[in-house]
């Protein structure tokens, strides 16, 4: 099902209401269809909500602007994070969803991390694939008990190992239950970590009945 009347162009695939819904957040150059196969692979049967980033970088969709690779426009990031959180709230109302688990890759993982820090009520948790620290001075959210899986690449040329570890520390400081896996990989997604993400999601408790 495709719908464009909410604030983001997006795709929604209904699923089992007993499974956590998944918010799919693509990387630079992706779109609302990009992570649907990944979502189906790691969360079979779950409702999937997949927006397209509203920023264009030379024609490539993104969720927020950057000044250079690895250098974010933080004013834009804060504004776009609020926009995404407001979209999720409206989509939850339209589609009858619980708070979703974010599954983000690269730029999508970065705005998911920003959402956890700036609008923590938006997400039930997150799988962050190749994220980096979004804010130079992060907010101090209450993330008590929120599960977060971070999948980093030890040979990632874009995200330094120290940066990924610092993000894990910021989320843990807010009370999130962080699992950080450093994998022998670069910036791209590997088949092995698809299995890791699927197993991690499958072990999460089911959403409470309404």
Catalytic residue among 10, 26, 34, 106: 106
Residue among 10, 26, 152, 156 flagged as catalytic: 156
Q: Where do runs of H (alpha helix) occur along 56-186?
A: 74-95, 107-118, 161-173
pLDDT number for residue 1: 46
Catalytic, out of 7, 82, 187, 190: 187
Length of the chain as a residue count: 210
Residues ≥6 apart with Cβ < 8 Å to 78 = 114, 118
> Which pLDDT belongs to residue 100?
98
Sheet strand arrangement including 22-25: 2-3, 10-13, 48-51, 22-25, 101-105, 125-129, 147-153, 177-183
DSSP state of 42: H
Question: Residue 2 — very low, low, confident or very high, per pLDDT cuts 50/70/90?
Answer: very low
Q: Which CATH architecture has domain 2-202?
A: 3-Layer(aba) Sandwich (3.40)
33-70 pLDDT per residue, tens: 999 999 999 999 999 999 999 999 999 999 999 988 87
pLDDT at 187 over 50: yes
Helix (H) or strand (E) holding 193: helix 191-202
Sorted by sequence, the CB contacts under 8 Å of residue 184 that are 6+ apart come out as 153, 154, 155
Residue 26: band (very low, low, confident or very high) from pLDDT cuts 50, 70, 90: very high
For the question of residue 50 being annotated catalytic, the response is no
> Is 10 one of the catalytic residues?
no
Per-residue model confidence as pLDDT tens digits over 85-136: 999 999 999 999 999 999 999 999 999 999 999 999 999 999 999 999 999 9
pLDDT at residue 205 is higher than 90: no
Residue 184's closest CA among 148, 149, 156? 156
Which is it for the CA torsion 88, 94, 97, 103, positive or negative?
negative
Q: Is 106 a catalytic residue?
A: yes
CA angle 151, 135, 9 (to 5 degrees): 70
Confidence label for 141 from pLDDT (cuts 50, 70 and 90): very high
């Amino acid at each position: 099902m495709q719908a464009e009347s909410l604030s983001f162009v997006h795709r929604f695939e209904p699923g089992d209401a007993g499974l956590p819904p998944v918010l799919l957040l693509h990387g630079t150059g992706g779109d609302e269809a990009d992570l649907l196969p990944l979502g189906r692979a790691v969360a079979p049967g779950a409702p999937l909500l997949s927006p397209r980033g509203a920023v264009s970088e030379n024609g490539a969709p993104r969720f927020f602007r950057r000044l250079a690779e690895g250098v974010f426009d933080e004013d834009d990031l804060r504004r776009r994070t609020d926009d995404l959180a407001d979209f999720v709230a409206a989509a939850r109302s339209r589609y009858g969803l619980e708070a979703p688990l974010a599954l983000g890759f690269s730029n999508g993982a970065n705005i998911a991390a920003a959402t956890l820090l700036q609008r923590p009520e938006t997400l039930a948790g997150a799988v962050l694939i190749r994220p980096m620290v979004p804010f130079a001075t992060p907010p101090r959210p209450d993330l008590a008990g929120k599960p977060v899986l971070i999948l980093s690449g030890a040979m990632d040329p874009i995200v330094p190992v120290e940066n990924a570890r610092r993000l894990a520390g910021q989320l843990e400081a807010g009370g999130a239950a962080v699992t950080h896996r450093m994998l022998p990989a670069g910036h791209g997604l590997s088949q092995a970590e698809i299995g890791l993400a699927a197993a991690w999601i499958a072990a999460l408790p089911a959403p409470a009945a309404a």
